[in-house]
Chain A
């Protein structure tokens, strides 16, 4: 396809003179359509075909399997609860119509705030929100009212990101900040014991149904089988249920090297070890639960693949990544099993470790300096002696 006309059109409308203040908005759309012609002129930077915009697009593509499955599952769950007999496309279409308004609200609210801040601060619009804006509707219950979602997105972008200086400067994962806001501000929609199924297409009233997490918090064994949870035909936040769909996204992220395999692996390792430890104690029903159930239920897999690996908020050093991931997994399972007030521990565990990540990095770096100083001292001694 010849894109010459679009490029010429962009050149024609480049804001100058009294419209120069719109520069960052123009730049955002221009570089979204075309790779910038300018290259880095100073300093030592990695020169690569992949820039921020391309890597964010890959994250969005990696989210697609989970998103599409989530849309179908929304319809499927409503179908089950209502006792009707919908076909595949009917389920998918229902879910699509439920999800679309949430995605639109998330992007419109979030991007308007991002663009406004970029204009006021005279910097470029960062593309990080393309992923965040899609992640937020994917990790909330389908029954969340749209105005609450809009509030949560605004809170996440302003308090979670912009006050620290925008994308790349935030120490908390903005999508999880939005979820935490909903979790603490409107707990009746997030508790997970009855409000996760969409009743009709437009209303926000829901049919009662319990998620596996809710059942376990109430002291029951989950009614869904492990296979169901693996495939994802269970109740939960919109797009977090299918471990298989998430695994497809994870493969893409690992193959392109955008997400750290160290973090992903260590989160599962930490969760598994904690699960085994509880199995050994075996004090109640929840502790006796096979350890791999923790990977299948709730947001564990989704959090491990898409949230914990966020390069901005994770630990940066390789040793730090192992510590960071192990503790996320371990804390998530610990919270699930030992704190009935929070049926799902993944969100709080990742947010907590987001706060700790800089400290972990600091300790790793300090340790490294100490080790090398010691080695240097030995070398000097040997040289002198």
Chain B
């Protein structure tokens, strides 16, 4: 596989959420608004990329029987770092994301990429794979955050778009269902539907 594919494929044919169906929990939980979705996307991308790199560097020294523990130690160290940075510089978002930053440790994408890729690949491809999968995850998260905040709260990044357009005056109302996690699941389902109709080879027989 070419290195460029490591970045490119997670966007379409090997998207962590749409195709591997990993990391769905956090993508339902944090996408009610755009800002936390973007912060979460960046955090996960950083954690996946760096943990992939570190585990790949250590891969020949890790005894197979305790590899999960070693992976967890590396991932949780990185997550604590990210959490501290958020608390120091973006306290409001950090409060909004609450436990979900800590829960990046259990995000299936992180463990999935470590097990499937970083344990058997060289550091440079592993780093690229981490960045690619993080970005693939980010695309879905940001799309969801955009749609859900726009139609659910009528704002974008806290800016009252719908009010400025004057839509409330002609009887428009925000859709309360958009703010609820079930609607995020339905939206992910719709995106998967669209994605599969574009990529017929992904459809199971």
Contacts of A39 in B (CB 8 A): none
- Contact indicator B193/A163 (Cβ below 8 Å): yes
Task: Tell me the bound Cα distance from A151 to B178 in angstroms.
Answer: 13
- Contact indicator A186/B176 (Cβ below 8 Å): yes
Contacts of B70 in A (CB 8 A): none
Asked if B84 is at the interface of the complex by the 8 Å CB criterion, the answer is no
Known contacts A159-B186, A163-B189, A163-B193; decide if A145 and B171 are in contact (CB<8 Å). Answer: yes
Asked if A185 is at the interface of the complex by the 8 Å CB criterion, the answer is yes
- Contact indicator A185/B171 (Cβ below 8 Å): no
Number of A-B contacts (CB under 8 A): 22
Contacts of A186 in B (CB 8 A): 173, 175-176
A298–chain B nearest beta-carbon distance, Å: 21
By a beta-carbon cutoff of 8 Å, the part of chain A in contact with chain B is: 145, 147-148, 151, 159, 163, 181, 184-188, 204
- Contact indicator B189/A185 (Cβ below 8 Å): no
Contacts of B171 in A (CB 8 A): 145, 147, 204
- Contact indicator A187/B176 (Cβ below 8 Å): yes
- Contact indicator A184/B180 (Cβ below 8 Å): yes
Task: Tell me the bound Cα distance from A347 to B48 in angstroms.
Answer: 44
Question: B173's contact among A148, A159, A163, A181, by CB below 8 Å, is which?
Answer: A148
Closest to B177 in A: A185
Which residues of B from 146 to 201 have beta carbons under 8 Å from A?
A: 171, 173, 175-178, 180, 186, 189, 193
Question: A188's contact among B173, B178, B186, B193, by CB below 8 Å, is which?
Answer: B173
Question: A184's contact among B173, B176, B189, B193, by CB below 8 Å, is which?
Answer: B176
- Contact indicator B193/A185 (Cβ below 8 Å): no
By a beta-carbon cutoff of 8 Å, the part of chain B in contact with chain A is: 171, 173, 175-178, 180, 186, 189, 193
Q: Which of A145, A148, A181, A184 has the most CB of B within 10 A?
A: A184
Contacts of B178 in A (CB 8 A): 185
Contacts of A145 in B (CB 8 A): 171, 173
Known contacts A163-B193, A204-B171; decide if A184 and B177 are in contact (CB<8 Å). Answer: yes
B contact face: mostly helix, strand, loop, or mixed: helix
Task: Tell me the bound Cα distance from A318 to B42 in angstroms.
Answer: 55
Task: Tell me the bound Cα distance from A188 to B175 in angstroms.
Answer: 11
Contacts of B186 in A (CB 8 A): 159
B195–chain A nearest beta-carbon distance, Å: 14
B183–chain A nearest beta-carbon distance, Å: 8
A217–chain B nearest beta-carbon distance, Å: 19
Contacts of A151 in B (CB 8 A): 175
Contacts of A204 in B (CB 8 A): 171
Closest to A204 in B: B171
Task: Tell me the bound Cα distance from A181 to B175 in angstroms.
Answer: 9
Closest to B171 in A: A145
A117–chain B nearest beta-carbon distance, Å: 13
Q: A163-B189, A186-B173 are in contact. List 9 more A-B contacts (CB 8 A).
A: A147-B171, A148-B173, A151-B175, A184-B177, A184-B180, A185-B175, A185-B176, A188-B173, A204-B171
**15 A–B pairs (Cβ distance < 8 Å), ordered by A:** A145-B173, A147-B171, A148-B173, A159-B186, A181-B177, A184-B177, A184-B180, A185-B175, A185-B177, A185-B178, A186-B175, A186-B176, A187-B176, A188-B173, A204-B171
Closest to B178 in A: A185
B66–chain A nearest beta-carbon distance, Å: 42
Contacts of A159 in B (CB 8 A): 186
Contacts of A148 in B (CB 8 A): 173
Contacts of A147 in B (CB 8 A): 171
Contacts of B180 in A (CB 8 A): 184
Closest to A159 in B: B186
Closest to A189 in B: B173
Contacts of A185 in B (CB 8 A): 175-178
Q: Which 9 A-B residue pairs are closest in the complex by CB-CB distance? A: A185-B177, A185-B175, A184-B177, A185-B176, A186-B173, A187-B176, A145-B171, A184-B176, A159-B186
Task: Tell me the bound Cα distance from A148 to B172 in angstroms.
Answer: 9
Contacts of B189 in A (CB 8 A): 163
Closest to B186 in A: A159
Task: Tell me the bound Cα distance from A204 to B170 in angstroms.
Answer: 11
Task: Tell me the bound Cα distance from A185 to B175 in angstroms.
Answer: 5
A47–chain B nearest beta-carbon distance, Å: 35
Task: Tell me the bound Cα distance from A159 to B177 in angstroms.
Answer: 14
Task: Tell me the bound Cα distance from A371 to B176 in angstroms.
Answer: 49
B196–chain A nearest beta-carbon distance, Å: 12
Q: Which of B171, B177, B180 has the most CB of A within 10 A?
A: B177
Closest to B176 in A: A185
Contacts of B193 in A (CB 8 A): 163
